[in-house]
């Protein structure tokens, strides 16, 4: 969440920054009013507590003097003030809780470096690599759901029978390809990232820490009986790994990676293309994430982006890098670069990774701080993450790109060590 103290001194600055996102400033005004009310109630509570202490001293002094009547009068006033203090404490707690709820729903401030704009059409294409529209043959212009069915490696009807639509089932070499892609991504980042295998069901506060709750509640799978949530991305448990902790600056940046299944309802996908693997409820992904100091954050962001790009290059896929405009940023992000792969069979650019810098927005929600090496009070870390490789769309682009005239799929050499000797799917 944003720093609540800035509501008092920089309200206009906050409004201007969120205005770049197209966000209504009324929520900031509401938060500022609640903050003012909370401070007023807290001040009155402290003043009342001071009066109670003064009455307690007067009761003791009166009893020493033997003035029982005065002691009883002061004791009665102390009890009355005690009830008033309890009421003020309850009001202050209510205002604080309401303020936190409002702040949890306010998105992060976009980085000054994020391009201006309100929709995906305003995103800036930084570069395109490996793409030549005229270089794809007719055999590559077949969508992956047809290729997968022809080769027996993608069985969408079976997935639908087991779990419903948008739950894909991979078979034989198709399943091996899922595993191979994830292992490739893990191996490529093992030089600097600690591998974690986190639980894939998490508590509510774990989802709140990243900003997935309360905003994206409709897109998440909730197990109400246990009040647990299926992770929409490994970002969720990895961000909370250091929740409520104070890290040493000497250990930063701290880099983590995890391969998990990810679960998303895709509640907002009505009217969007949901064929094949373009939009699914469950998928595998390798996430890379880092805690960093503010000074380290930019270099870490560049490194995460380079690593995500490196996986696509290793697979020989055409891709492009987009610098997301302020209005198209995710709610928690201050700056995001999207990587899109080109799928010739669908003739679409498919988002394969979002590499994001969240400033201290998530760290404030998760209460993750670090102890500066130069001394001084603990400060909030910056969090950053990205998809080292998300399977469905990369899988789709790969089988379309590498489809051969005879209908087989030649596998890029980077995957050969992970495919049990298979170099072609036929």
Q: Which residues are catalytic?
A: 264, 279, 351, 354, 393
Q: What angle do CA 231, 180, 280 make, to 5 degrees?
A: 40
Helix segments in 106-155, DSSP class H: 144-151
User: β-strand 194-196 against 254-263: which pairing, if any?
Assistant: parallel
Integer Cα distance of 158 and 152 in angstroms: 12
Q: What angle do CA 268, 260, 424 make, to 5 degrees?
A: 95
3-state secondary structure of 386: strand
Integer Cα distance of 33 and 95 in angstroms: 10
Integer Cα distance of 292 and 25 in angstroms: 30
Q: 405-426 burial, b if ≥16 CB within 10 A, otherwise e?
A: eeebbebeebbeebbeebeebe
Q: How many CB atoms lie within 10 A of CB 143?
A: 20
Find, among 231, 237, 329, the residue nearest to 281 by Cα: 231
Question: Which pair of structure tokens corresponds to residue 163?
Answer: 């779990």
Question: Which pair of structure tokens corresponds to residue 135?
Answer: 């270089």
Within 329-368, strands assigned E span 335-343, 348-357
Are 15 and 107 in contact by the 8 Å Cβ rule? The answer is no
User: β-strand 369-371 against 246-248: which pairing, if any?
Assistant: parallel
């Amino acid at each position: 969440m944003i720093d609540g103290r800035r509501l008092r001194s920089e309200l206009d600055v906050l409004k201007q920054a969120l205005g770049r996102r197209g966000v209504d400033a009324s929520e900031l005004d509401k938060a500022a009013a609640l903050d003012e009310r909370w401070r007023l109630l807290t001040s009155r509570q402290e003043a009342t507590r001071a009066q109670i202490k003064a009455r307690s001293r007067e009761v003791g002094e009166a009893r020493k003097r033997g003035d029982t009547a005065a002691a009883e009068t002061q004791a009665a006033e102390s009890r009355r003030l005690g009830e008033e203090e309890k009421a003020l404490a309850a009001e202050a707690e209510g205002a604080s809780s309401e303020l936190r709820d409002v702040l949890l729903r306010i998105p992060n401030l976009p980085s000054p470096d994020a391009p201006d704009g309100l929709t995906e059409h305003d995103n800036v294409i930084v570069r395109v690599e490996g793409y030549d529209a005229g270089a794809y043959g007719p055999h590559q212009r077949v969508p992956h759901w047809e290729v997968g069915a022809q080769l027996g490696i993608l069985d969408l009807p079976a997935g639908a029978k087991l779990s419903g639509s948008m739950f894909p089932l991979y078979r034989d070499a198709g399943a091996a390809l899922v595993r191979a892609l994830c292992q490739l991504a893990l191996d490529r980042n093992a030089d600097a990232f600690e591998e974690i295998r986190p639980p894939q069901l998490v508590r509510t506060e774990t989802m709140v820490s990243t900003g997935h709750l309360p905003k994206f509640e409709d897109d998440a799978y909730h197990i109400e009986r246990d009040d647990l949530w299926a992770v929409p991305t490994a970002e969720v448990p990895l961000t909370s790994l250091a929740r409520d902790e104070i890290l040493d600056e000497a250990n930063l940046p701290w880099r983590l990676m995890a391969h998990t299944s990810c679960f998303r309802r895709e509640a907002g996908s009505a009217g969007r293309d949901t064929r094949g693997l373009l939009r699914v409820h469950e998928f595998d992904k390798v996430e890379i994430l880092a805690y960093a100091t503010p000074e380290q954050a930019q270099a870490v962001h560049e490194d995460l982006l380079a690593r995500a790009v490196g996986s696509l290059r290793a697979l020989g896929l055409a891709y492009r890098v987009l610098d997301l405009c302020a209005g198209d940023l995710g709610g928690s992000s201050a700056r995001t670069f999207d990587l899109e792969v080109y799928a010739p069979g669908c003739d679409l650019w498919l988002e394969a990774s979002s590499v994001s810098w969240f400033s201290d927005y998530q760290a404030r929600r998760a209460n993750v701080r670090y102890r500066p090496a130069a001394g001084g009070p603990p400060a909030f870390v910056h969090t950053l993450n990205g998809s080292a490789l998300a399977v469905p769309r990369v899988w789709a682009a790969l089988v379309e790109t590498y489809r051969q005239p005879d209908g087989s799929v030649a596998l890029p050499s980077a995957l050969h060590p992970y495919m049990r000797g298979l170099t072609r799917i036929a």
